[in-house]
Amino acid sequence: MAKNNQNEIDIVTTEKSKINTVDFNNLIFGRVFTDHMFVCDFEDGKWQTPKVMPYQAMSIEPSARVFHYGQAVFEGMKAYKDDDGKVFLFRPEDNHRRINKSAARLAIPEFPKDYFFNGLEALLNADKDWIKPGLGNSLYIRPFVIATEAAISASPAATYRFMIICSPAKAYYNAPVRVLFAEKFSRSADGGVGFAKAAGNYAAQFYPTSLAQKKGFQQIIWTDASTHKYLEEAGTMNIFFRINDTLITAPTSDRILDGITRKSVIQLAKDLGIKCEVRQVSVEEIKNAAKDGSLKEIFGAGTAAVISPVSAFEHADDVFEIEQIPNSYAMLFKEKLMHIQHNIGLDEHGWRYEVVSK
């Protein structure tokens, strides 16, 4: 067991890596975790010395507040390796900023930037063999914070645990998804927590999504909670519509998560001279565009799948099929983003962040 200290992180590496037991050609998303994890506890009003240690189960009191009141937030990011073995993150400052924005809304103390970056670097160095080169291969990184205080009074906890776990992800062909436009259920409301990556936001989508799946639609496009007239986002992805050659996406708000992939697509569209309108987009407008043939594409944008094309949508029992076109914007943005992430394409905006090898 190697023990050392890097930037005031206690690092204990595993005696025996399990990497040889993993079939990297047949990875199911989010099932397998790397050899190590990052842990930092908030106690006595401050974040304590962070640790990198072997990935393992942990013991938490049943009364920990996270189990009762869902005081928990998370992030989703990826590490990529180029053919020279260099490791990169994509716009990680935004993940740090966002987890603190989410945390503040859930009354969770913010996590210091140097702890976040030093922790990520130490963890990725310990697990660097788990990041495979090759376009589309990546290591999915899941930072999260949970309320650990053992007390079931309904108020913010006094103790928390910040952790980072990592799961190798394979380049996969994501088949176009069929989606349902929400008419009854809502994901978020004005003044709520829709903008935050709060754990409870996802649990609340499982039931309506399972109903949609029974009807043959894999995902729901959420509409505004008060009128259900305006299209907002997909719940783990932001959403773009292409009418003729113009892209349209809803503005972010306290109901919509400010996705890093979304804002990267908006910037790339600008770079490529593709018109992109950030404005409210109504169900009616998209149905009319589907009817008159001007609706060319719908696609989701998020870290996990990068870009997910939509092949059909349903609203008020009307089903509209969307023909998958060659040279789609969806595929153009996916390729551009992946090339930047894997250090193949020019990084005009400084989005790549190289993780220094130790």
Ligand X SMILES: *Cc1c(COP(=O)(O)O)cnc(C)c1O
DSSP state of 20: G
343 is a contact residue toward ligand X (CB under 6 A): no
Which position among 72, 141, 157, 260 is part of the footprint of ligand X (CB under 6 A)?
260
Nearer to ligand X, 94 or 110 (CB): 94
Secondary structure percentages of the chain, helix, strand, coil, to 5 = 25, 30, 45
CB burial of 89-113 (b: ≥16 within 10 Å; e: otherwise) equals bbbbebbbbbbbebbebbebbbbbe
Counted residue by residue, the chain has a size of 358
Closest distance between ligand X and the C-beta of residue 141, in Å?
11
Q: What string of DSSP letters covers 26-59?
A: SPPTTS---SEEEEEEEETTEE---EEEE-----
Three-state DSSP state, 221:
strand
Closest distance between ligand X and the C-beta of residue 83, in Å?
25
Binding mask 239-258 for ligand X (x = CB under 6 A): ------------------x-
Three-state DSSP state, 203:
helix
259 is a contact residue toward ligand X (CB under 6 A): yes
Question: Footprint of ligand X on residues 8-67 (CB under 6 A)?
Answer: none
76 is a contact residue toward ligand X (CB under 6 A): yes
Nearer to ligand X, 159 or 308 (CB): 308
296 is a contact residue toward ligand X (CB under 6 A): no
| 17 beta partners | none
Instruction: Determine the interface stretch with ligand X among 6-14, 52-60, 301-309, 323-331 (rule: CB under 6 A).
Output: 301-309
Which position among 302, 330, 343, 355 is part of the footprint of ligand X (CB under 6 A)?
302
Q: Which residues contact 71 (CB under 8 A, 6 or more apart)?
A: 65, 106, 107, 108, 146, 147, 156, 157
89 is a contact residue toward ligand X (CB under 6 A): no
Total residues contacting ligand X (rule CB under 6 A)? 15
State both tokens at 79: 């590490």
70 is a contact residue toward ligand X (CB under 6 A): no
Report the alpha-carbon distance of residue 89 to residue 109 in Å, rounded: 24
237 is a contact residue toward ligand X (CB under 6 A): yes
308 is a contact residue toward ligand X (CB under 6 A): no
| 223 beta partners | 231
Closest distance between ligand X and the C-beta of residue 91, in Å?
8
Which position among 235, 242, 309, 340 is part of the footprint of ligand X (CB under 6 A)?
235
Which position among 167, 238, 249, 343 is part of the footprint of ligand X (CB under 6 A)?
238
CB-based contact 165:33 (threshold 8 Å): yes
CB-based contact 63:80 (threshold 8 Å): no
Phi/psi for 202 (5° steps) reads -85, -40
303 is a contact residue toward ligand X (CB under 6 A): yes
CB-based contact 158:149 (threshold 8 Å): yes
Nearer to ligand X, 76 or 109 (CB): 76
Which position among 35, 233, 285, 297 is part of the footprint of ligand X (CB under 6 A)?
233
Report the alpha-carbon distance of residue 173 to residue 176 in Å, rounded: 9
Report the alpha-carbon distance of residue 283 to residue 15 in Å, rounded: 56
Nearer to ligand X, 148 or 238 (CB): 238
Instruction: Determine the interface stretch with ligand X among 56-64, 127-135, 137-145, 233-241 (rule: CB under 6 A).
Output: 233-241
197 is a contact residue toward ligand X (CB under 6 A): yes
Instruction: Determine the interface stretch with ligand X among 168-176, 236-244, 247-255, 319-327 (rule: CB under 6 A).
Output: 236-244
Q: Which residues contact ligand X (rule: CB under 6 A)?
A: 76, 197, 233, 235-238, 257, 259-262, 301-303
